[in-house]
Amino acid sequence: MTQTQWRRRVFKPVAWLACLTPAAVLVYNGFQGELGANPVETITNTTGIWTLRLIVVGLAITPLRWLSGLNQLINYRRLVGLFAFFYGTLHFLTYFILDHQLEFGGLWDDVVKRPYITAGFTAFVLMIPLAVTSTTGWIRRMGGRKWNLLHRLIYVTALAAVLHYFWKVKLDATYPIYYGIGVAILLGFRVWRNYRPAAASH
Amino acid sequence: MLIKKAADLRESDVTPKETFLRRREFLAVAGSTAVAVATNGLGPVFTGTPAALAQNPAAQKLTNLKKSPFSTDEKLNSYKDITTYNNFYEFGLDKADPGKYAHTLKPKPWSVVVEGQCAKPGTYNIEDIMKYAPLEERIYRLRCVEAWSMVIPWIGYPLSEFLKRFEPTSKAKYVEFKTLVDPRQMPGQTEPALNWPYVEGLRMDEAMHPLTLLGLGLYGEVLPNQNGAPIRLVVPWKYGFKSIKSIVRVRFVETEPLNTWKQQQSSEYGFYANVNPQVDHPRWTQGSERRLGEFFRRKTLMFNGYGDQVASLYAGMDLRKFY
């Protein structure tokens, strides 16, 4: 098989299944009655944390390419990003349907009044244009430059998602801080690469 | 002081245990059958399972329980829900941790030190404490500050029956409670997640209120370790964190005790901690809650629905200030 065939027949399906696994486990555990005493909370927390994890994985792809020289990693970025959006959508819908019963008034009150919801909602909403423009057609229509600029919104989403997590925990902020450090390193790496002294760039 | 009973409940309304057990079996079977028919076996997450009735076969059973007019007739949460979803940081921060790790707690032998402003301080052992008053079953709503709730068939007797024995003096304005500190029995205490020991307190009139229960069991048995064995408070109109677990020390004091969560974050958790849908937690709403076993949220009631009995305790107080 050629490299492209390997990617299409093996690596992409594997990545796709890996990204789908948390959702599959959730559904399986739901049928087994193993989501604990508060299934809604389990669903919310699981979909939320996988959104953040996949955002981090997506943000790691470009630095990994730089570090490893494995340029073909770029072929997986859209897949990871769309799965982040998939989990983010499930996370948002769980909250919007089960907490607010699809009432926009209550949702808006929360968005305005509760900083952790403001942050989470911002993170989610900013992912929508990225998901919409993720197709090859949109990249062509927008042109690479504009498209790249738009897709930097994921940086805002990542920071807002970490804040959302940090403000939500009751006592132990260890994990939100870990994710915060991870996102800071991945974004800092980009800043460093763009603004490093000229001497280092050669 | 006028103590009102719940207006909509009479003694005869409280279903006998045998009947409610059968009712739940019926509901569980009917529920899962209906769901199975409707969705071709869509699973137990949407129903209760008969296994949810299982209790601990090794636990000491408590019998001859008085029924209480204060009990609610709402649907009980399962034994499994009640014993696998606990905030008891002495055993870990995850709500599943206490159910997994609390087996290291030794609720026997157990004694409680009583001290402070009272005529009869001393050390009292749990076997005697269990006999200070007839045991009652009290089916109460429990509302956590995290905006979830359960309905739990507690066993115990009024805290007033316990406290009166020690003859508190006129200087006793508050009563303070402390949980055991022993990292060998409570592995979560090896981490400074909270300032150990866990401390809680009540104003004397709150402590003597007939709704305030000294909890000694649930679902017909002595308390499971993860629910605060062998002795805890149950204060149904306050957020769950007021109902301190595994008590080893009771002290009558003149000034307001500084309770653990208030120490931790006084802008978010106060001394009174009355369930109040009008005063939100700074970060989330207290206007609604998720009753475990239900998918949609329900409205939270003032004083968790016990306002007829307890609102008078706080007459004239600004509950926004004294949250």
Residue B7 domain-assigned?
no
Q: Which residues of A touch B194 (CB under 8 A)?
A: 171
A165 within 8 A of A48, measured Cβ to Cβ: yes
* Token output for A41: 């909370």
Q: What per-residue confidence (pLDDT) applies to A180?
A: 98
Report in angstroms the alpha-carbon separations of B230 from B166, B210, B215, B233.
Answer: 20, 21, 8, 11
DSSP character at residue B60: P
How many Cβ atoms are within 10 Å of A145's Cβ, its own excluded? 8
Taking an 8 Å cut-off on Cβ atoms, the answer to whether A110 and B285 are in contact is yes
Residue length of chain A:
202
Q: Which residues of B touch A46 (CB under 8 A)?
A: none
Mutate to test the interface with A, among B79, B284, B290, B294 (most CBs of A within 10 A): B284
Which positions 198-257 of B are in contact with A (Cβ < 8 Å)?
none
DSSP character at residue B7: T
Residue A201 domain-assigned?
no
Please classify residue B121 by burial: count the beta carbons closer than 10 Å to its beta carbon, then call 0-12 exposed, 13-18 middle and 19+ buried: middle
Residue length of chain B:
323
Q: What per-residue confidence (pLDDT) applies to B55?
A: 84
B175 within 8 A of B207, measured Cβ to Cβ: yes
Mean pLDDT calculated for residue range B235-264: 98
Confidence of residue B33 (pLDDT cuts 50, 70, 90): very low
* Token output for A155: 């940086």
Closest-approach residue (CA) in chain A for B150: A37
Mean pLDDT calculated for residue range B195-219: 98
DSSP character at residue A133: T
Residue A134 domain-assigned?
yes
- Enclosing domain of residue A68: 3-196
Q: Do B187 and B222 have their domain in common?
A: yes
Residue B281 domain-assigned?
yes
Q: Which residues of A touch B49 (CB under 8 A)?
A: 33
Q: What per-residue confidence (pLDDT) applies to A194?
A: 86
Closest-approach residue (CA) in chain A for B264: A171
Predicted structure pTM score: 0.85
H or E stretch including A61?
helix A39-68
Q: Is the pLDDT of residue B73 over 80?
A: yes
Residue B11 domain-assigned?
no
Q: What per-residue confidence (pLDDT) applies to B57?
A: 87
Q: Which chain A residues have any C-beta within 8 angstroms of a chain B C-beta? A: 30-33, 35-41, 98-99, 101, 110, 114-116, 167-168, 170-172
Q: Position B38: which residue type?
A: A
Q: Do B70 and B185 have their domain in common?
A: yes
B283 touches chain A (CB under 8 A): yes
Q: Are strands B213-218 and B232-234 parallel, antiparallel or unpaired?
A: antiparallel
Residue A202 domain-assigned?
no
ipTM (interface predicted TM): 0.86
Q: Which has more pLDDT, B265 or B9?
A: B265
Residue B235 domain-assigned?
yes
Tally of domains in chain B: 2
- Rounded to a whole number of angstroms, the distance from the CA of B60 to the nearest CA of chain A is 25
Taking an 8 Å cut-off on Cβ atoms, the answer to whether B81 and A98 are in contact is no
Closest-approach residue (CA) in chain A for B145: A170
Q: What per-residue confidence (pLDDT) applies to A198?
A: 59
Taking an 8 Å cut-off on Cβ atoms, the answer to whether B80 and A37 are in contact is yes
Q: Position A199: which residue type?
A: A
Q: Is the pLDDT of residue B48 over 60?
A: no
Mean pLDDT calculated for residue range B120-146: 98
- Rounded to a whole number of angstroms, the distance from the CA of B157 to the nearest CA of chain A is 28
B126 touches chain A (CB under 8 A): no
- Enclosing domain of residue B41: 19-53
Taking an 8 Å cut-off on Cβ atoms, the answer to whether B292 and A37 are in contact is yes
Question: What is the overall mean pLDDT for chain B?
Answer: 88
B286 touches chain A (CB under 8 A): no
pLDDT tens column, B145-178:
999 999 999 999 999 999 999 999 999 999 999 9
Q: Do B33 and B146 have their domain in common?
A: no
Taking an 8 Å cut-off on Cβ atoms, the answer to whether B77 and A37 are in contact is yes
* Token output for A177: 């801080």
Q: Do B276 and B302 have their domain in common?
A: yes
Tally of domains in chain A: 1
CA distance A92 to A157: 14
Task: Provide the CATH number for the domain around residue B82.
Answer: 3.90.420.10
CA distance B227 to B231: 9
Closest-approach residue (CA) in chain A for B42: A31
Q: Which residues of A touch B292 (CB under 8 A)?
A: 37-38
Q: What per-residue confidence (pLDDT) applies to B3?
A: 53
CA distance B108 to A156: 55
CA distance A87 to A81: 10
Q: What per-residue confidence (pLDDT) applies to B26?
A: 43
Residue A33 domain-assigned?
yes
